[in-house]
Structures are given as structure tokens and as C-alpha cells.
């Protein structure tokens, strides 16, 4: 995990533990009594203990910690390292505004969650089946027809349009320019998050929802945020959404390759109960 050795968040965690230990020790010593010539030794012992506790906490967050649990309103939130497609429950897949299914590294990148979802679906079904299912689920949603588009689909849906297909939730996150390049402004991204959580509140029905760090794959979002900042923004948006009034279980899944970009100690301190 991403974790600096000298970190104010570690100091806060270490001080909490050290305070408890030192209070108990001080109480015991006050009762039993300690000769004055032992005072220096006790002081040195406390300093060594202080350092050891700090190092242990650092090692935990740096090498051992792979998830943290937070309580956001009535939502049980688990932020963890994992593979989105292997998680139990509903998986959220950000897609483009056309709900395209053409995985060719032009319309949809094979390495994007959108591309991996399409390939996962096609393991057991055909492309016609997927397109038919998408059309069915999108019935009733407003769209614009972009007949000038020469590749991919032509029906363009509003950002935040969200549908549920079996164990997946597909949500329209990105706009496409005339070169099929994904982009989104920060204002649109923040509005998307608000709409997204409201849609999750409508859809989840008590099911576990697995969410990736939405937004990290958009190279043309401005201003550019780090993975940590995207993750924190997602959690902040959850805190202000209608979903927090509904008892639910949400997992935010961090791709294994991004774990060195995320600080759990910082998250825990920022969103502590």
C-alpha cells in the first residue's frame, strides 16, 4: 500500500494506542510504587515502546492491511483490494454514453472495465443477445440520436443513466468526442456521482454492491485527480447522497495494480466514525 513512514495519520493512531498503555502502566506504577532511581529506566522504556508501536502500525498499513471498514450513515462501506469480477454481489461497470459493445480498442478498450464486461458476457452469450438486453433495459430512458457517428451505436443517453443486467449495473459515465475519445468535466463527474448513488439507492434492494474507483480511467477529466483523490471524492459523494438513509452494504474495489497509490491510514483518519 501507499504509506509514508512519517505520517501524521500514523502518529494519531499510534498515540491512541500508546495513551491507553501508558495510562494503565502509570496507574499500576502509582499503586505499587517505584523507587526514584528507576525513573530514568522507565522513561527510556516508554520511549522505546513509543517507537515500537509506531513501527508496528506502519508495517501493518504498508504490508498487511488490504481493506478498511467505514460506516457512512446506514451504509456499511468496505474499501478493499480485489478483483471486481470475482466479488459476490452486484458489480458496477462504468460505460460510455452510447452503451457501446464494440470492443476493438477504438470504441472500447479491451483493458477497461467496460471492455472486460463485454468479453465476460460473450463467454456465455452472443453479441446480439447483449445488444438486445441493453435495448430492453434502456427502454423509457431519453436519448439523442447521433446519426453522424460512423462507428459504434448512435443512441446517446444522459450521463448517469443506470441499468441493471443480471449481476451487473451499467452506468453511463463518459462522453465521446468525434474521435471516440472519452472525456468529462469535473462538474459533470460530481453530478454523475450524486445521480449514481441515487440510482444505487433505487436498485440495490438489500444486495451487496461492488463499485470500482469510478473515474480513474478517464484521461481527459479536468482537473486530473489521483487514485486517492478519486476514491475520497466517491466516499464524500456517498456521505451526501440519499443512500445513507438506507441500510446497505457497499464495497469499493481497488484494482490490485493500484494498491500502491492508495493510503488506507489516510482514508481511515479522514472518514473515521
The number of beta carbons lying within 10 Å of the beta carbon of residue 174 is: 24
Distance CA 84, CA 251 (A): 10
Q: What's the longest Cα–Cα distance across the chain?
A: 89
**Residue 64 DSSP one-character state:** I
The number of beta carbons lying within 10 Å of the beta carbon of residue 13 is: 20
pLDDT of residue 26: 65
- pLDDT, tens only, 227-253: 999 999 999 999 999 999 989 999 999
- pLDDT, tens only, 148-197: 998 999 999 999 999 999 999 999 999 998 888 888 999 999 999 999 99
Of the candidates 112, 4, 6, 13, which has an alpha carbon nearest to the alpha carbon of residue 68? Answer: 13
Overall pTM surpassing 0.85 (yes/no):
yes
Site of grid cell 471498514: 69
Distance CA 98, CA 155 (A): 6
Task: Count Cα neighbours of 133 within 13 Å in the Cβ-side half-sphere.
Answer: 17
- pLDDT, tens only, 54-90: 899 899 888 989 999 999 999 999 999 999 999 999 9
- pLDDT, tens only, 98-145: 999 999 999 999 999 999 999 999 999 999 999 999 999 999 999 999
CA trace torsion 111, 116, 119, 121 (10° rounding): -170
Helix, strand or coil, per DSSP, at residue 58: helix
Of the candidates 219, 252, 194, which has an alpha carbon nearest to the alpha carbon of residue 76? Answer: 252
pLDDT of residue 28: 59
Amino acid at each position: 500500500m501507499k504509506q509514508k513512514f512519517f505520517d501524521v495519520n500514523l502518529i494519531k493512531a499510534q498515540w491512541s494506542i500508546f495513551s491507553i498503555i501508558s495510562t494503565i502502566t502509570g496507574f499500576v506504577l502509582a499503586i505499587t510504587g517505584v523507587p526514584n532511581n528507576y525513573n530514568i529506566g522507565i522513561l527510556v522504556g516508554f520511549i522505546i515502546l513509543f517507537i515500537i508501536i509506531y513501527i508496528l502500525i506502519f508495517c501493518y498499513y504498508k504490508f498487511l492491511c488490504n481493506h478498511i471498514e467505514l460506516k457512512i450513515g446506514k451504509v456499511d462501506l468496505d474499501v478493499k483490494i480485489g478483483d471486481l469480477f470475482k466479488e459476490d454481489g452486484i458489480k458496477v461497470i462504468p460505460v460510455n454514453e452510447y452503451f457501446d459493445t464494440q470492443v476493438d480498442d477504438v470504441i472500447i478498450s479491451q483493458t477497461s472495465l467496460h471492455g472486460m464486461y463485454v468479453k465476460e458476457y460473450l463467454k456465455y452469450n452472443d453479441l446480439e443477445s447483449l445488444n438486445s438486453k441493453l435495448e430492453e433495459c434502456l427502454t423509457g430512458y431519453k436519448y439523442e440520436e447521433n446519426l453522424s457517428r460512423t462507428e459504434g451505436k448512435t443512441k446517446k443517453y444522459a450521463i448517469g443513466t443506470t441499468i441493471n443486467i443480471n449481476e451487473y449495473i451499467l452506468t453511463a459515465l463518459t462522453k465521446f468526442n468525434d474521435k471516440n475519445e472519452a472525456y468529462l468535466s469535473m462538474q459533470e463527474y460530481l453530478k454523475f456521482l450524486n445521480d449514481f448513488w441515487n440510482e444505487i439507492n433505487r436498485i440495490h434492494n438489500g444486495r451487496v454492491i461492488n463499485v470500482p474507483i469510478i473515474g480513474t480511467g478517464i484521461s481527459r477529466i479536468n482537473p486530473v485527480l489521483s487514485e486517492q483523490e478519486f476514491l475520497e471524492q466517491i466516499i464524500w459523494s456517498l456521505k451526501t447522497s440519499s443512500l445513507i438513509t438506507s441500510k446497505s452494504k457497499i464495497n469499493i474495489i481497488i484494482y490490485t495494480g493500484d494498491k500502491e497509490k492508495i493510503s488506507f491510514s489516510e482514508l481511515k483518519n479522514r472518514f473515521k466514525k
